[in-house]
Structure 1
Amino acid sequence: MPYRRILARSRRPVALAVATAAMLTVAQTATAATTLRGLAEAQNRYFGTALTDGNLNNSTLTNVAGAQFDMVTPGNEMKWDTTEPSNGGYNFGPGDQIVTWAKSHNDRVRGHNLVWHSQLPGWVSSLPSNQVQGAMEAHITTEATHYKGQLYAWDVVNEPFNEDGSLRQDVFFNAMGTGYIADALRTAHAADPNAKLYLNDYNIEGQNAKSNGMYNLAQSLLAQGVPLNGIGFESHFILGQVPSSMQANMQRFADLGLDVAVTELDDRITLPASSANLQQQAADYAAVVKDCLAVSRCVGVSQWGVGDADSWIPGTFPGQGAATMYDQNYQPKPAYNATVTALGGSTGGGGSTTGELHAVGAGKCLDVPNSSTTGGTQVQIYSCSGAANQVFTHTSSGQLTVTEAGTTLCLDANAKGTTNGTKVIIWSCNGQTNQQWNLNANGTITGVQSGLCLDVNGASTANGALVQLWTCNGQSNQQWTLG
């Protein structure tokens, strides 16, 4: 279906965002070796995100974006309704802000976009047919010239196809016929000859009528000598629906001599997201990354937005969301860990990993007091001894188990609590989400049910300091290593 991919504005208070961002810095610096950008670069690819100028005011968001991503796509700032709201009246300020931010973080930029039927100012649609080509060429030339030499690539024509593989009958097609796409590409190349030029669309990820239409168009353009360099696969997926033919489909475009890229990845879930949903999402993300890595001309993957808090999905698909690798608080979800693993990194967690859980800030270990086997005993930190009451196993189902005197118990959020200060206890294992934990690449351990972090009360470093759940903040009393 047609849709408007306008990124949501962050709803987090700025003061909280600034404070949280400062606290996240320590954790993200410590894990730079396993960032998405670092792992992708090791595979000669990039891992990108989309940002709006409004996002730049949210330090929590930009802290994650700067650490994790090395390619930026402006969410709205280079679209026609922003850059030329009136005929001949240009506004590049918002786009310039995105480019400046990207440069300051050593990121490249994908220009998005030059020609699209949506977010198009009314004056374009109102033009007499014989003036549309001139307006399109002038717009492309002016915008591409403004950013000449500053961008990695342009989505020159965005979403040109109907679902049946025919071209949309928009203002450009109606005025110029099928030739408008070749004209747009030639015009963009003349203005910015070093930028990679893409056609970008959704629902072309698998082999189907729409992707066949794109494939036939690409063949035709290349046969005409049109400067087309790549195809963008938007990849706005519904949970569990990543096409099995995605790798083969990307490969056939690559075989034409074109680059391919995953340009707007997200994976929407019917809310509220269950633990099983989040695990399926993790599998979906891993599948997409692996498909890209299997195609030598797949240059990279970009997620559409940084986290669930700034995702476009809830505003466009009511009742759906949780579509990204980061939650509402910009903490990593299972999809992040799966992506890290797919890129060849290590998340520090995962199935059947056993050892002491070291509290980084205190230099001590998670400990069951007095080797108790009584359900409801709150865990603490204590000098590491290697004893059974300090040895935990992260199971394939996400539990953290401890075995003492032949009794295996699970780490548990007391009374299924989801508020700050909830006690972390041991309890008989029952498979419920308050006993499931994500071991994240940034060193945090988050409860699947609550999304809160395993936290040493008061950042204490003393033996006997109790462990609780608390809003994730990146401080060292929320950093753990297993083994």
Structure 2
Amino acid sequence: MPLGRTLIRLHHAWALAVALALVLATGALAATTPAVAAGSTLKAAAESDGRYFGTALTDADLGVTGETTVAGTQFDMLTPGNEMKWDTTEPSNGSYNFGPGDQLVRFAQAHGMRVRGHNLVWQSQLPAWVRNLPLNQVRSAMESHITTEATHYKGQVYAWDVVNEPFNADGSLVGDVFYQAMGSGYLADALRTAHAADPGAKLYINDYGIEGENAKSDALYRLAQSLLSQGVPLGGIGFESHFVLGQIPADMRANMERFANLGLDVAVTELDDRVQLPASGSALQQQSTDFGAVVRDCLAVTRCVGVSQWGVDDAHSWIPGAFPGYGAATMYDGNDQPKPAYGAALSALGGSNPGGGGGTTGELRAVGAGKCLDVPGGSTAAGTQVQIYGCWGGTNQLWTRTPSGQLTVYGGSGQLCLDAQGQGAVPGTKVVTWPCNGQANQQWRFNADGTVTGVQSGLCLDVTGASTADGALAQLWTCTGHTNQQWTLG
């Protein structure tokens, strides 16, 4: 028999002997069945606070399994990306096509998602026949279109973006065909017409560049005040939130609050955060900070009903096509794997991301080596430096993530915690087992990119030298994003 296999058998035998001794001492082995953490999806965490977390899909996306799997698992609100816009629903005067929109509504209903109708009146994606109408025919065409579409989806749509992007950056109204025909009064007319057709839906004005207090958001605020004073059934303001990395307005929360104080709902409707490509690790960390900040701003405003990301993943985002050289704007990469922004959003919602296996108890596997975090020889001595070793299910390889963020091994009076030795917070600090004491050097954060970081140090749990060999030691090290710093639990 090869020497390596002999050593593994001896290691296993010794650890089993220690495990049996612990069973006799404590009366039980650590549980081996992974438990599902509550609030472990965006929608579950949002729903626990009475909010929603949504996404946008197009009919083409319905053929992409990775996208639809994430959408159905993580999100509880769906916005059709294009399928309810005028150029799709009424491409020629009086000729309607609701098939693409209906397909997305059916997907939403099958997955327990509500639908945000998007949109009824917008100067873009507007058929040429509307733009070329005599101005004295525009009002009737607009009212007919709104009535027909809103009636078709009556009772199936949670909210409508009735008027989309009506303002210029300086606060003036866009001089589109609707404004040319009716002046600013077209907004009130559109909202009243939509309410008559679908009185159960919440009616929004939706725009970009209004997230902070500026000329554009000030103009929208004055418009909202005016509409409400006239009894117009405006129900909410949509903050699109198409951001550039690191540029979340510091006054976004206060700005949303002032609209909410008018008695309006507010929502983040089209969130993404574009990054100059190729996206660096530091950029993805900044993006996670940005996503977390936006979610926290919403949660701090009682009438902020939810957040929707525009699209599911980076591979199908609109950003690269619209902003050459930029991309990586969503919480999911091109392979539908969560990025650090996902973990930040989930954490801001009060949820938990237990790791790749979805469990809170099990083997902690080093992704790069395919081996398990292991207490050498099943040692119960305080200060034993942990290592990676071939996975075999012994109790010296079974870790439990506690609600307080500790990682424990063994059980009962023999329980030990994963510990940064001597409360070290510098690269190269040994990772050891130590009696549990609740201090920050024994608390660990599981991140969406697969890394596990020490709460006290912010450093990553790391396999020394990126080794894949049995017995390679664990340490703390500056986070690099490499696979020797990625782990799955369960």
Q: TM-score, normalised by structure 1?
A: 0.75
**Alignment of structure 1 residues 455-470 onto 2, 5 Å:** none
Specify which structure has the bigger relative contact order, considering alpha-carbon pairs within 8 angstroms and separated by 6 or more residues.
2
Match of 1:204 in 2: 210
**Alignment of structure 1 residues 17-416 onto 2, 5 Å:** 30=36, 33-348=39-354, 358-359=364-365, 365-367=372-374, 380-382=390-392, 383-385=394-396, 391=418, 403=431, 411-412=462-463
Residue ranges of structure 1 left out of the alignment (5+ in a row): 1-27, 350-354, 372-376, 438-445, 448-453, 455-478
Aligned residue identity for 2:97: N
Residue 402 of structure 1: how far off its partner (Å): 5.0
SS in 2 for 1:247: helix
Residue ranges of structure 2 left out of the alignment (5+ in a row): 1-33, 356-360, 379-386, 397-408, 434-458
From the CA coordinates, give the structure whose radius of gyration is larger.
2
Moved over 4 A (4+): 28-32, 368-371, 386-402, 412-416, 421-430, 434-437
Aligned residue identity for 1:384: T
CA distance in 1, matches of 2:311, 2:424: 29
CA distance in 2, matches of 1:356, 1:158: 49
SS in 1 for 2:192: helix
More deviation in 54-63 or 69-78? 54-63
CA distance in 2, matches of 1:398, 1:116: 55
CA gap 1:423/1:214 in 2 versus in 1, 3 angstroms: farther
Q: Are 1:157 and 1:181, in contact at CA under 8 Å, matched by a contact in 2?
A: yes
Residue 203 of structure 1: how far off its partner (Å): 0.6
Q: Are 1:74 and 1:110, in contact at CA under 8 Å, matched by a contact in 2?
A: yes
Aligned residues: 403
Aligned residue identity for 2:374: D
Match of 1:464 in 2: none
Find out whether 1:433 has 2:480 as its counterpart: yes
SS in 1 for 2:391: strand
CA gap 1:435/1:187 in 2 versus in 1, 3 angstroms: same
Match of 1:374 in 2: none
CA gap 1:89/1:290 in 2 versus in 1, 3 angstroms: same
What RMSD in Å do the two structures reach over aligned CA positions? 3.8
Residue 61 of structure 1: how far off its partner (Å): 1.1
Find out whether 1:480 has 2:489 as its counterpart: yes
SS in 1 for 2:243: strand
CA gap 1:424/1:259 in 2 versus in 1, 3 angstroms: farther
Cα displacement string for residues 435-479 of structure 1 (whole angstroms, at most 9, x for unaligned residues): 578xxxxxxxx85xxxxxx5xxxxxxxxxxxxxxxxxxxxxxxx4
CA distance in 2, matches of 1:253, 1:312: 28
Same amino acid, percent of matched pairs:
62
Aligned residue identity for 2:351: G
Q: Are 1:32 and 1:67, in contact at CA under 8 Å, matched by a contact in 2?
A: no
Q: Are 2:420 and 2:429, in contact at CA under 8 Å, matched by a contact in 1?
A: yes
Residue 213 of structure 1: how far off its partner (Å): 0.6
Q: Are 2:116 and 2:158, in contact at CA under 8 Å, matched by a contact in 1?
A: yes
Q: Are 2:46 and 2:53, in contact at CA under 8 Å, matched by a contact in 1?
A: yes
More deviation in 386-395 or 44-53? 386-395
Aligned residue identity for 1:96: D
Aligned residue identity for 2:489: W
Aligned residue identity for 1:411: D
Q: Are 1:232 and 1:261, in contact at CA under 8 Å, matched by a contact in 2?
A: yes
Aligned residue identity for 1:233: F
Aligned residue identity for 2:395: C
CA distance in 2, matches of 1:165, 1:284: 26
More deviation in 134-143 or 32-41? 32-41
CA distance in 2, matches of 1:159, 1:224: 21
Residue 409 of structure 1: how far off its partner (Å): 10
Cα displacement string for residues 168-217 of structure 1 (whole angstroms, at most 9, x for unaligned residues): 00111111111111111011111111110000000101101000010000
Match of 2:383 in 1: none
CA distance in 2, matches of 1:422, 1:199: 59
CA gap 1:412/1:186 in 2 versus in 1, 3 angstroms: same
Aligned residue identity for 2:283: N
Q: Are 2:313 and 2:336, in contact at CA under 8 Å, matched by a contact in 1?
A: yes
CA distance in 2, matches of 1:41, 1:435: 34
SS in 2 for 1:34: coil
CA distance in 2, matches of 1:58, 1:32: 28
